């Protein structure tokens, strides 16, 4: 079969199966098998599928995924995350402190957990009712928390950057540290959005916010756990003391101790965190395995290589190629979630970006930002529905979408900055080397 027949056949069959309601991991595997049978017998293809499944579950690098997921679940079920929001809200004595505190808490949470949805759920569960009680506008309250979750996947550690590194065979450490400066710029941009929002719509931000000050012991118990976990992860990886997997393991153990010691975690909460991690990894494990099988079929038929050659034959400017790819991902992100997009499309897209002359570490950061725009765009914007669910009828999905628009503009602006000044993402990794 010709490569384009395989590529179109895989894509068409995959979209058909997803449209019929088949879960994405099973759709990926089912779309791959007919083309696998063209090169292997039925019995051999079953063995190949089993080997791909087993290979994912025993991959040393991938062990970091359940560890970071478990770490995030522990923080979400203890008081560590909510306490961070309360500290930032009560400690920042300015108009709009709850909104700025939400951004800061999401950024702090992002320094220890790489999941956008978990970040929005953990901080939003505490911040949204409090902001509505204080008199903040529904659109601002929901928008800042839905968008704030995106900071969790740009500031290291990031599950999307981790998956990107696995698919593209790039250094996980370099990818993590490349996200630091763009992440800090995004925090600043989100704060500017809140500031401008307060000027344009002053009725959405109350003038006075009644909140009690925290004592020194409370402050230490609030900042200490997040700082300790974040330092273990960053110092261990960037100082070359440990691999990302080893750093995740030590950080997860430290989180267990801190969650019980100062976070008020109960045994029931601990068990819930374990079961939630297993449920998440059950889905992710199948998705990773099916994605590897899908990628194997693509690679065997040389679809990525031939697609890259075809695209380059049009002699387009590298930046035109980049714009087409980004537009493709933003459109696709309206219907698929980021992890699925990563394993379905990246095996074909990243060789094209490399051939166009773009640094793959830099593109990893741009790609991650694009994925975070995807979680804020309907109809399949995960963060939108998380915040709407937390609102318990007080916030509509329209409020959340409208509230996210200025923050999406900030994400787009960050992509423009990265395109104009690639050193924004590449300078820090170069210095670390």
Q: What is the chain's pLDDT, residue by residue, as a tens digit (433 residues)? A: 788 888 889 889 988 998 888 888 888 888 988 888 888 888 888 887 777 777 777 777 778 888 888 888 888 788 887 777 777 766 656 778 888 888 888 888 777 776 777 777 778 888 888 888 888 999 999 999 888 888 878 887 788 898 899 889 898 889 988 999 999 999 999 999 999 999 999 998 887 655 556 666 666 767 788 888 888 888 887 777 888 889 889 999 999 999 998 888 899 999 999 998 888 888 888 888 888 888 888 888 888 888 888 888 888 899 999 999 999 998 888 777 788 888 888 988 999 999 999 999 999 999 999 988 887 887 767 788 888 888 777 888 888 999 999 999 999 999 999 999 999 999 998 887 6
Sorted by sequence, the CB contacts under 8 Å of residue 284 that are 6+ apart come out as: 65, 69, 339
Give, to the nearest 10 degrees, the angle between helix 397-420 and helix 138-148: 50
Per this entry, what is the length of the chain?
433
Q: How far apart are the first and last CA of the chain?
A: 45
Within 111-242, residue ranges assigned H as helices are: 116-134, 138-148, 151-154, 159-168, 172-178, 180-200, 216-238
DSSP H/E element including 99: helix 97-110
State the DSSP code for 393: T
| pLDDT tens string 100-154 | 888 888 888 777 776 777 777 778 888 888 888 888 999 999 999 888 888 878 8
From its phi and psi, is residue 243 left (phi > 0), alpha (psi between -120 and 50) or beta?
A: beta
Please state, in angstroms and rounded to a whole number, the distance separating the CA atoms of residues 268 and 77.
10
Question: Can you tell me whether residue 358 is helix, strand or coil?
Answer: coil
| pLDDT tens string 403-414 | 999 999 999 999
């Amino acid at each position: 079969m010709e490569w384009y027949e395989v590529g179109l056949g895989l894509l068409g069959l995959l979209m058909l199966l997803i449209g019929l309601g088949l879960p994405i991991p099973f759709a990926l595997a089912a779309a791959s098998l007919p083309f696998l049978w063209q090169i292997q017998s039925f019995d051999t293809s079953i063995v190949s599928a089993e080997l791909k499944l087993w290979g994912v579950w025993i991959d040393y690098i991938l062990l970091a995924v359940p560890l970071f997921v478990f770490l995030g679940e522990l923080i979400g079920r203890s008081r560590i995350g909510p306490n961070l929001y309360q500290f930032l809200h009560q400690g920042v004595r300015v108009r709009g402190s709850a909104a700025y505190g939400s951004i800061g808490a999401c950024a702090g949470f992002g320094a220890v957990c790489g999941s956008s949805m978990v970040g929005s759920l953990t901080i939003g569960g505490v911040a949204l009712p409090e902001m509505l009680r204080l008199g903040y506008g529904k659109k601002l309250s929901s928008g800042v928390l839905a968008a704030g979750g995106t900071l969790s996947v740009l500031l290291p550690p990031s599950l999307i950057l981790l998956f990107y590194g696995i698919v593209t065979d790039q250094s996980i450490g370099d990818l993590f540290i490349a996200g630091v400066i763009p992440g800090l710029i995004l925090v600043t941009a989100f704060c500017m959005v809140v500031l401008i929002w307060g000027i344009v719509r002053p009725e959405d931000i109350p003038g006075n916010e009644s909140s009690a000050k925290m004592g020194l012991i409370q402050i230490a118990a609030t900042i200490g756990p997040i700082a300790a976990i974040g330092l273990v992860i960053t110092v261990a990886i960037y100082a070359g003391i440990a691999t990302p997997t080893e750093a995740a393991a030590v950080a997860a153990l430290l989180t267990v101790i801190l969650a019980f010691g100062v976070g008020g975690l109960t045994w029931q909460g601990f068990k819930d965190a374990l079961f939630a991690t297993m449920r998440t990894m059950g889905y992710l494990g199948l998705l990773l395995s099916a994605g590897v099988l899908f990628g194997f079929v693509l690679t065997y038929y040389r679809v990525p290589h031939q697609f890259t050659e075809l695209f380059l034959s049009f002699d387009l400017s590298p930046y035109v190629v980049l714009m087409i790819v980004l537009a493709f991902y933003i459109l696709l992100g309206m219907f698929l979630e980021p992890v699925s997009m990563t394993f379905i499309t990246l095996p074909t897209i990243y060789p094209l970006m490399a051939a166009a002359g773009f640094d793959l570490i830099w593109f990893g950061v741009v790609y991650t930002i694009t994925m975070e725009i995807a979680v804020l765009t309907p109809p399949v914007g995960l963060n939108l529905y998380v915040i709407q669910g937390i609102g318990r009828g007080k916030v509509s999905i329209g409020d959340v979408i409208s509230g996210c628009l200025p923050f999406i503009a900030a994400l787009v602006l960050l992509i423009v900055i990265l395109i104009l000044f690639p050193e924004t993402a590449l300078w820090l990794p170069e210095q670390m080397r």
